[in-house]
Structure 1
């Protein structure tokens, strides 16, 4: 029983700490990051996400700092009314994730 409790505790600490390292970047910080060329402009990143699904519209987006890496997450709705989750490296514009939303 002690082993099972220890495993649950370790799992809770691991997953709980992962959530603590992803935080939304505030608008004033975004301006600084773009100005310093630390990340691409949000317009460039949105265009890269939409390029994966031409004709799609952006329904939501956010910039997060995950473990010191800036990730731009974009929710899209394509012309067939299918929703997509696209994540890009905000520094390089590389598409990290492009999945159909369930």
Structure 2
């Protein structure tokens, strides 16, 4: 299976990883924001992540709000086994952070 298709096959599991903490948004809120056009579709996010880290495997995605800015926080494992954390502006797709996770 092509890496992007394998990556996208995780989409049904992403809903399970959206947790509800103080800054995290619920699945219902994420859907509402997507329908309003305030955040990009998850498929677009996955394309950005896959382009930056080909053949990586998705571990977790959270949608957070910080001062009215929506941020996708993505945790993945690269093909060499390194766990990375990315933050991507959920409205624009701009990469805000890409670092090795401790």
Higher helix share: 1
Instruction: Give the CA deviation at 1:43.
Output: 1.9
Give the corresponding residue for 2:40: 40
Q: Which runs of 5+ in 2 are unaligned?
A: 1-21
In structure 1, how many angstroms separate the alpha carbons of the residues matched to 2:39 and 2:68?
Answer: 12
In structure 1, how many angstroms separate the alpha carbons of the residues matched to 2:25 and 2:46?
Answer: 16
4+ runs deviating over 4 angstroms = none
TM-score relative to the length of structure 2? 0.75
Give the corresponding residue for 2:52: 52
Instruction: Give the CA deviation at 1:50.
Output: 2.4
1:87 aligns with 2:60: no
Contact 1:58 1:77 in 2 (8 A): yes
In structure 2, how many angstroms separate the alpha carbons of the residues matched to 1:101 and 1:24?
Answer: 19
Aligned to 1:70, the other structure's residue is in SS state strand
CA RMSD in angstroms, aligned pairs only:
1.1
Q: Which runs of 5+ in 1 are unaligned?
A: 1-21
Give the corresponding residue for 2:24: 24
